[in-house]
Structures are given as structure tokens and as C-alpha cells.
Structure 1
Amino acid sequence: MPVFSPSSHHPAPAAECEPGTAPEQQTAVDKALTLLKSLAELDGEIGVSELARRNRMSKSTTFRLLGILQRNDLVDRVGSDYRLGTQLFDIIARGFGADALLLHERLLPHLVDLYELTHETVHLAMLHGTDIVYVNKLHGHRAARSPSRIGACVPAYCTGVGKALLAFDHDAAEAAISAGLPARTEYTLADSDRFRADLRRIRQEGIAYDRQEAVLGLTCVAVPVMGAAGRPVAALSIAGSDRRFDPARFAPALRRVAFEAGRTINAAMVRQAAPTGTAGL
């Protein structure tokens, strides 16, 4: 199984304290939450010294708090670096319902298959209102800069996974349009007519593209994971740098994996809905 850890970190400004609260006046809980928020902004791991610098804490305090968070599975240690722990996703996912946990657990093997086929950044996401929630993500050493993080919410209209889901949910799509489609980049489909036309194409072809619509330099291809009722329950995507990544090249592999993922999640949902004592019979 590949190692999913990028080799570099993007610099971030030091965290601001609450108005009127100096760093030394923060409680241990305040500081621990500050560290979690800082880790959530990263797409990978970070060392103690750098994390302490960004949050204007001493290295000893940062190390001590990370140890407490690690013992509670809220932070994982990777060598001498740290990243958010898997237990934190479980806590977040419960806020989005049982489906998020089911998707996260049952479709991980398919996400691994997709990574092995492409060696690009791969995502699993679900629709939450007019946003998408990243349920899972795998990436290698050449991951492009992306707003995607497990458990993060992003507006659906400017992402491949989001458009793949909105195309099959008329009410959510119209709600997103009514709320406005602010341009995140010069390539965002901020015009409602163009946006609706793109959703019609996605419904016909079953595949969505994000060509630098959310972040400059990032492009991706996405397809829905269809449920038993003929409506998508999630979406899968492959993303990479616009300078070297050809999304159409990976479309066939993405369709195959999404089809198998649909079979897996539909079977899991049937078992989950079965009366107690009959599942698996």
C-alpha cells in the first residue's frame, strides 16, 4: 500500500489569538484546539518546531499537547511529524450522519485501487446541502495544492465531485445557483446559464471536470457513485496539477472503479437496512 504523505509543506501565517487574549493567557484547551485547527489547514504532516512557530507557542508546550492529542487518537505521529488523527474524522463524520462513516469505511479499498491505477490525488466526497464533504482522500508525493481535506466542507458548484453530485440533484443545484456562484478563479462557472449547461452535459455523459475552477493550477475529473435508486450517494475524483495532468486520460479507470464502488456501497446499505438477525443471511 502506498505511503500517503507529501514531501513539502506550504508556509502559513502564525495563528491569531482571540481579541484581548495573549498566548500566555490561553488555557491548555485553547492551545490544543489551536493546534488542531492549524493541523486541519495542512495537506500533510508538520514538525513540532514549525507548528510551535506558526502558533506562537513554546516547543515544549506544543510537544506536550500533541502527546495528549495523540493518546486520544486526535493526532497521528508520522516519524517526527504530526497530522490529524483518524479518530477526529469519526467525530466529524457523525455530524454528517451514518452514511459518511459507511462511505469512509466501505469504499476505502476502491479509493486505494484508484490511487494504484493513477498515482494521483484521489477523493471520495458526499453532498451536504449545497456543499460537498470530503469523506476520504489519498495522495502521494506529487500532490497538487488543493482545498480538499478529510472532513472539510467546500462549495459544490466549483468542484468536480460537487458538480457530479449536483447534476443529479435538481433542488440542491438550484439552491446553489440561488445562493450565488462567486468566482473563485477566472475559470469558475459563475454564470448560471453556463453552470446549468455544464450540469446537463454531466447528466448526459456521467462525468464532471473541474478545470481550475476552485484553485488555480488544479484540475480534476469526477464521476458519481450511483445508489440503488439511480441517484448518486457519493462521488469519486482524480486531481492533479494543470501543468501535467490530463483528466480525460483517467476517465475510463475512474468509471470502472466508481461502478464497483456503487456495487459495494449498495450491498452495504442493504445489509445495514436489514432487520436485526437477518443481515448476512
Structure 2
Amino acid sequence: MLEKRGVRSVKSAARTVALLELLAARGERPSRLDELAEELDVPRSSMYQLLQTLVDCGWVRSDATGSLYGIGIRALLTGTSYLDGDRRIRAVRPYLDEASDALGETIHLARLDGPDVVYLATRESHEYLRTISRVGRRVPAHAGALGKALLAERHDAELPLPEGELVALTGNTHTTRAALHADLAEVRERGYSVDREETVVGLAGFGFALRYDSPATDAISCSVPVARLTPEHELRIVAVMRETRARIESAVPMNSGAVDWR
């Protein structure tokens, strides 16, 4: 078993978490018992028992035949409680609304989680529809405005990046550490990050780290279709987002006596 801080992990608990994460990653695509057992290297009988237990508890759902499995509604309830129970997310939400109204663009809040950022809140633009930005979505931190804004708050030697070549989401994504480090140096100098079609073709983004933690773990960004990104609009976006960051940081002080979650 893996050990962390001198405590041995519980095999059954680790297996349960791995199963739930696998089902969540598959989204709408249902899974069969055999493929789940093979994917997680678990005996078929053990996987069946685990699935039935989680179905009974509402964490996993099955179809009418009992042969297909997917993530259950309890996962949604738990995820919602995370969002509702985080004072910083609650504090930031109104400012996302104001920035979205001022700019007419999509505004995001995300948190660094290992080598990725996880979307915590999104205010969609009324000008266009986006179906890929949603709460809970994970994106490699090196590949977009939110992640680069947060990586730039750390020393290059301390970046939480995976081993080997960095994954490319588009042809513009940085795939080498040298290119990423050069970009992060520019982010530190200008005070915000820029994503020009590095995450999604056709979209640009501007990211701003929220420095109520040190180093920052949360960031906000504005996404805009490149077809509508004029130099004047870019200046307006940067000005509004800078002001939004300042207002958020004033409203959420670093030392407020709240629990220091890790």
C-alpha cells in the first residue's frame, strides 16, 4: 500500500476512490463490470461487490439490466457541498457576475490542484455559447490562462508539472519547459497571463492570480473569441479584470481565522 505522512492507505478505500474517479471521467459513457475490473486491476467478484455497495448508497447508478454502470447522484451532492462550504468561492461569485456584465464575456474562477486547474465557477457570455467550460472541469495548468497565472506565482523549480513532455491541447500549447518558463517570466513581468488559443482553438484568455494565499491557489480569467478580440477590447478586458482582482483581494483577506485547508 502507498504511504503518506507515515500512514498506510486503506486498500478498499483507495479502490473505491479510484472507481468513482474512473466513472466520473467517463461521463455519459456507461461502463461494464468486466472493463472496470480490468481497468483497475481488481478481481471481477470484488468489483461486483464494490459496485453493488455503491449502487445501494447512491454513489453509482446502473441501468435496468444491471449490466451498465455510471456515476451516481451522491457524487453531485458531495461536489456541491464543496462549493457551498468554501467561503472564498462564495465571496468571489458576485465579482464574477459584475465582470461578466461589464465585459459581456465569459468569466471563470479556478483552483490549482496538482498539475491541473479545476473550474469552480463560470459566468457564461450572452454573446456566444460554450459547452466545454463547466464547474469541475480539469485542464492542465500549463495549457491556459488560469493555470499559467498560478504557475507564475511559483519558482520555476517548484512548478507542479508532470514528468516528460507537456501535453498539447492545441497546436499553440507549450509542450516544453523552456517555452513555458519563458512565458511565465512574461506573466510575472506584466502581472497577468495570456492564452492565445492554447486551450481551445478560437478562444483567447486572460488570467489573474488571486493573492489571498501565498503562493496563490485561485485565479480568475476572462475568455473571448479571437474573432472579436480587438486591441481596444483587450485593453478593456485587462483593465476590468485587474480591478476585479483588486476588489476580490480586498474582500477576502489572507488571514481571516478560517480553516487553512490543504
- What TM bracket, shorter-length normalisation? 0.5 to 0.7
> Residues 188 and 248 of structure 1: is their aligned pair in 2 closer, same or farther, counting only changes over 3 Å?
farther
SS of the aligned residue for 1:175 comes to coil
Which residue of the partner structure matches residue 223 of structure 1?
A: 208
User: Displacement, 1:23?
Assistant: 4.8
Give the match for residue 166 of structure 2.
Answer: 181
Residue pair 2:143, 2:173 contacting (<8 A) in 1 also: yes
SS of corresponding position for 1:266: coil
**2:258 is matched with which residue?**
272
> 1:158 and 1:144, CA in 2 relative to 1: closer, same or farther beyond 3 A?
farther
Tell me which residue corresponds to 1:19.
32
What is the deviation of 1:257?
A: 0.5
Q: Structure 1 unaligned runs (5+)?
A: 1-13, 37-71, 75-86, 275-281
Q: TM-score, normalised to structure 2's length? A: 0.67
Change in CA separation of 1:173 and 1:252 when aligned onto 2, cut-off 3 Å? farther
The aligned counterpart of 2:104 is 119
- Output the CA distance in 2 between the equivalents of 1:184 and 1:212: 9
| TM-score relative to the length of structure 1 | 0.62
CA distance in 2, matches of 1:175, 1:253: 29
Deviation at 1:141, TM superposition (A): 2.9
1:130 and 1:172 in contact (8 A); partners too = no
Task: Give structure 1 regions of 4+ aligned residues with deviation exceeding 6 angstroms.
Answer: none
Question: Distance between the aligned counterparts of 2:82 and 2:69, measured in 1?
Answer: 19
Q: Are 1:254 and 2:251 an aligned pair?
A: no
CA contact (8 A) 2:28 2:70 kept: no
Long gaps (5+) in structure 2: 1-26, 35-61
* Structure 1: distance between partners of 2:235 and 2:175: 23
**Aligned equivalent of 2:58:** none
Are 1:122 and 1:139, in contact at CA under 8 Å, matched by a contact in 2? yes
The alignment status of 1:200 with 2:185, answered yes or no, reads yes
Residues 173 and 153 from structure 1, CA distance in 2 versus in 1: closer, same or farther, beyond 3 angstroms?
farther
Coordinate RMSD, CA, aligned: 3.2
How far does residue 223 in structure 1 lie from its aligned partner after superposition?
1.0
Conservation of the 8 A alpha-carbon contact between 2:63 and 2:69: no
Aligned residues: 204
Cα distance change of structure 1 residues 206 and 177 upon mapping to structure 2, 3 Å threshold? farther
